[in-house]
Amino acid sequence: MNSSYQICNYCVMDTTDVHIKFNPLGFCNHCLSARNLLSRLNEVKKQEPRKFQSMISELRKYPSPDGFHAIIGVSGGLDSSYLLHALKDSGLKLLAVHVDAGWNSIEAIRNISNLVSALEIELETVVIDWQQMKNLQIAFLKSGVPNQDVPQDHAFFGSLYNLANEHKIRFVFSGSNYATESILPESWGQFAMDGLQLLNINAQYGKGQLESYPVTLLRDYYITRYIKKRYMVVSPLNFLEFSRKSAVEVLSREYGWTDYGGKHKESRFTDYFQEVYLPQRFGIEKKRAHLSSQIVSGEITRDQALETIERTKISKVDSDVLENFIASKLGISVSELREYSQLSWINPNIYRNENYLNELIRIFVLVRNTSRKLTRYVGIS
């Protein structure tokens, strides 16, 4: 650890985020911003204690031609799983969508099956062509961009939004929430919905066309969402009392849900990406952001977070097992996979992208949100 290393005195974010800033007390910009946001959100909850119920009542007025009130992506992960549970008595007809990109853990498949069966929710599964997915994943590894989860994430969200349009469902439910994910540095990745960049990376390093892979160009995504207003994204968990510990307890007790031991580990590739690839290549422990979010929400203490980081460091044996699994499934050698995790940092902007559009929309949303109540900002967008 070099002499310039610094860790926040309030949360556990550190200088592996190259853009992190600290105030005179040693508190970082991430937890200060998150604390401010959660404080405002808690004030809204006090003023409108029935916001969740009123939001659901409003959504019931807009069924799709097939009778669906909302569509929700399910990965088997904690947030989307708990959201399904929270909506069980809402009276909403939901369409659950699972995108199988080839990396599901056995536990994820079982968790999804148990939930939709118990709750009697219709499930539509989109299976991504494995050959195209595999080639794209290898292309991203060769490209050296920081966010190696883009091929999965782009397929997930692209498929979900496509189905929302296809079924004319006005509301897309998201399990995103500020209790467990209010902190995530931009320097640790890049936006997953930039289809132009994805196509450019595939053109340079991929093998063949992405014939059935759901590529979504950013301009089309924004036009559909913000101009044509075909759908709105709703984050109900922000208006519920939600914590990781209590959610795990409820899901385990009522549905036999299996905990993966960390955020987003329902995907075997994401598990590798977070536990092996990022630490080896950049020294980044993504769990710092997840744990810091829990510190800010008051679920855990800083000491508990530091203990968790040390206790959950992946062993050499488990790291080797993950690497062997990923390499075998991708059809490459372990040594080749390790070479990709040893590349120097590469600016993702060297590949064609729609950053200019993303920045324009970010400013548009920021300006729009300043003229709206926080309830609108964190609830429906």
Asked if pLDDT for residue 253 goes beyond 90, the answer is: yes
What pTM, to 2 d.p., does this model score? 0.91
* SS (HEC) of 300-326: CCHHHHHHHHHHCCCCHHHHHHHHHHH
Burial 297-324 (b: 16+ CB within 10 A, else e): bebbebeebeebeeeeebeeeebeebbe
Work out the mean pLDDT of the chain and round it to a whole number: 91
Question: Rounded mean pLDDT of 333-341?
Answer: 97
Least confident of 138-152, 154-168, 191-205, 361-375: 361-375
Assigned CATH class of 31-260+353-379: alpha beta
Q: What interhelical angle do 150-166 and 130-143 show, nearest 10?
A: 130
Task: Please tell me the predicted confidence (pLDDT) of residue 374.
Answer: 43
Say how many C-beta atoms besides its own lie within 10 A of residue 227's C-beta: 8
**Per mean pLDDT, which range of 142-146, 157-161, 275-279, 374-378 is the poorest?**
374-378
- Measured distance between the N- and C-terminal CA atoms of the chain, rounded to whole angstroms: 42
Convert the pLDDT of each residue in 268-318 to its tens digit.
999 999 999 999 999 999 999 999 999 999 999 999 999 999 999 999 999
Residue linked to tokens 């498929």: 159
Would you state the pLDDT for residue 11?
98
The model's pLDDT over 12-57, given as tens digits with 9 standing for 90+, comes to 999 999 999 999 999 999 999 999 999 988 888 888 888 889 889 9
- Amino acid type, 222: Y
372: left (phi over 0), alpha (psi -120 to 50) or beta: beta
Q: Is the pLDDT of residue 379 over 60?
A: no
Strand runs labelled E in 168-297 = 171-173, 232-234
Per-residue pLDDT at 109 exceeds 80: yes
Q: Where are the domains of the chain?
A: 31-260+353-379
